[in-house]
A and B are shown apart, each in its own frame.
Chain A
């Protein structure tokens, strides 16, 4: 065997791929990592319970799996904001489309990111899954609120997709903020650290608007081309 294994997906991912909000290994203390796994276990159990209420949950497994793979790949698309570019988290969009399947989908997506590309980490998988998965479920419920209005109206769909997309990233950012702030080691200057993290959180406000606008555009595209993807 010569040389190491080629990773064809790295070519698709591009060079400037960064994920600020994925907490890597080695940052958080073991107690937080274990609590993260416990929380993820609880949310996964609850999601699977909801999934098993479907008349035929087995039928949805291939659909949820292939959409998970598609979302995993779609999150590599960069939105150009010169002089740099940003990539989207898409947890809000995932929630609006997959409902309770979104939590296992995010858990699996983060697991693959950790083992394939070393983004995030195995010890922090539970924490990251809770941080992105809970907002995805909340985004699903926010998007479902459109049913109380005229669900066939494009404007109503667009508004609730925006709220779901922006809210998904917004809640994830707040959870990230809370986690990092509460786990600053005592030796580190807490005020400087808080200021830096606050700046990072403020920088996410325009990203929330972009994520919301992108979720709206995808939802309206699907409403026109494949409406059942939003209904199921």
Chain B
């Protein structure tokens, strides 16, 4: 797969070696703990924990930077909006613009939580092949229908993306320019989407027949020997314990700090 999501899945690091199920539980608990944080005093700890995990994963910084391209618009929007429009306590007055304390606090909270959760998500999905991550989700109770649909969708997104590019190029070569809103343009674009859906539907029938020929839906009656790669070691459990303890630490600290203030 060339989505870039698991491009660095074959690196060697403690996070890469961490068993997928333990990694899913540990890093998801960290994500939810981060979303629980409301106190400014806990933000530095959150940044440090995120950076330590990212450092341990040995993922290059360019990977994180490239993934921040689209969320960057969101960060820019809240940076421009929140400090100048939210709150009542003025810190600095520049002409008609007022910088509010509450807005700056809200910005710090939202931006730090957002960046920390996003970075942990990248560590989670960037340090193992996507197939292994879905298998881990399946063994943790994800319904078979959802797991199969996830893998098949992942397999075909790129192909349909390329199909769409070709179809759009063909339309442009035939003189179509969607520069204004009109009923005709809407109908042409609807036909483009319709054609894409018909193509995918036709292909799905061939895919199903190919899957049936390969034994899809046939349940093995003998138990397969466990794959040694999927065995959970003591080290995996210790890493899981440490990560869950850090996550619980944030939740407890949040409750304690809130009670004190």
A residues near B, CB below 8 A?
1, 3-12, 17-18, 24-30, 33-34, 44, 48, 51, 57-59, 61-74, 76-82, 97, 104-105, 107-109, 111-112, 114-119, 121-123, 185, 187-189, 192-193, 210, 213-214, 217-218, 221-222, 225-226, 229
* B105 at the A interface (CB under 8 A): yes
Considering the complex, which residues of chain B in the window 132-169 have a beta carbon less than 8 Å from any beta carbon of chain A? 143, 145-146, 148-150, 152-165
Interface size of B in residues (CB-CB distance below 8 Å): 95
Asked if A33 and B153 sit within 8 Å, CB to CB, the answer is no
* B66 at the A interface (CB under 8 A): yes
Pick the contact of B205: A63, A71, A116, A221 (CB < 8 A).
A63
Asked if A65 and B117 sit within 8 Å, CB to CB, the answer is no
* B111 at the A interface (CB under 8 A): yes
Apart from A6-B4, A69-B160, list 18 A-B contacts with CB within 8 A: A5-B4, A5-B7, A5-B66, A9-B3, A17-B70, A25-B114, A26-B110, A33-B32, A44-B143, A69-B152, A79-B181, A105-B149, A108-B153, A119-B70, A122-B117, A214-B189, A225-B194, A225-B198
A70-B200, A74-B197 are contacts. A6–B208 as well, Cβ < 8 Å?
A: no
The CA of A111 and the CA of B111, in the complex, are separated in Å by 21
Asked if A187 and B196 sit within 8 Å, CB to CB, the answer is no
Number of A-B contacts (CB under 8 A): 258
The CA of A169 and the CA of B153, in the complex, are separated in Å by 23
- Cβ-closest chain B residue relative to A119: B70
- Cβ-closest chain A residue relative to B159: A69
The CA of A4 and the CA of B63, in the complex, are separated in Å by 5
The CA of A10 and the CA of B66, in the complex, are separated in Å by 11
Asked if B194 and A218 sit within 8 Å, CB to CB, the answer is yes
Would you give the shortest CB distance from A71 to chain B, in whole angstroms?
8
- Cβ-closest chain A residue relative to B254: A30
Asked if B191 and A73 sit within 8 Å, CB to CB, the answer is no
A-B contact pairs, 14 of them (CB 8 A): A3-B62, A12-B165, A17-B70, A30-B35, A67-B197, A73-B164, A108-B149, A112-B154, A116-B3, A121-B118, A221-B191, A222-B198, A225-B195, A225-B198
Main secondary structure of the interface of A (DSSP, over half): helix
Asked if B200 and A67 sit within 8 Å, CB to CB, the answer is yes
The CA of A1 and the CA of B160, in the complex, are separated in Å by 28
Considering the complex, which residues of chain B in the window 162-193 have a beta carbon less than 8 Å from any beta carbon of chain A? 162-165, 178-181, 185-187, 189-193
Q: Which interface residue of A10, A51, A214, A221 has the most chain B CB atoms within 10 A?
A: A221
- Cβ-closest chain A residue relative to B149: A65
The CA of A191 and the CA of B209, in the complex, are separated in Å by 58
Taken residue by residue from 52 to 87, chain B's Cβ proximity to chain A (1 for < 8 Å, 0 otherwise) reads as 000000001011011111110110000000000111
A4-B60, A51-B145, A123-B31 are contacts. A82–B181 as well, Cβ < 8 Å?
A: yes
Would you give the shortest CB distance from B245 to chain A, in whole angstroms?
18
* B121 at the A interface (CB under 8 A): yes
Asked if A25 and B118 sit within 8 Å, CB to CB, the answer is yes
- Cβ-closest chain B residue relative to A3: B62
Which residues from chain A contact B154 at a C-beta distance below 8 Å? 112
* B259 at the A interface (CB under 8 A): no
Asked if A115 and B66 sit within 8 Å, CB to CB, the answer is no
Asked if B200 and A27 sit within 8 Å, CB to CB, the answer is no
Pick the contact of B217: A33, A58, A68, A104 (CB < 8 A).
A58
* B51 at the A interface (CB under 8 A): no
Which residues from chain B contact A29 at a C-beta distance below 8 Å? 35-36, 38
Which residues from chain A contact B200 at a C-beta distance below 8 Å? 66-67, 69-70
Would you give the shortest CB distance from A27 to chain B, in whole angstroms?
6
Asked if B164 and A12 sit within 8 Å, CB to CB, the answer is yes
A26-B110, A123-B31, A218-B190 are contacts. A65–B156 as well, Cβ < 8 Å?
A: yes
Which residues from chain B contact A221 at a C-beta distance below 8 Å? 190-191, 194
Asked if B207 and A24 sit within 8 Å, CB to CB, the answer is no
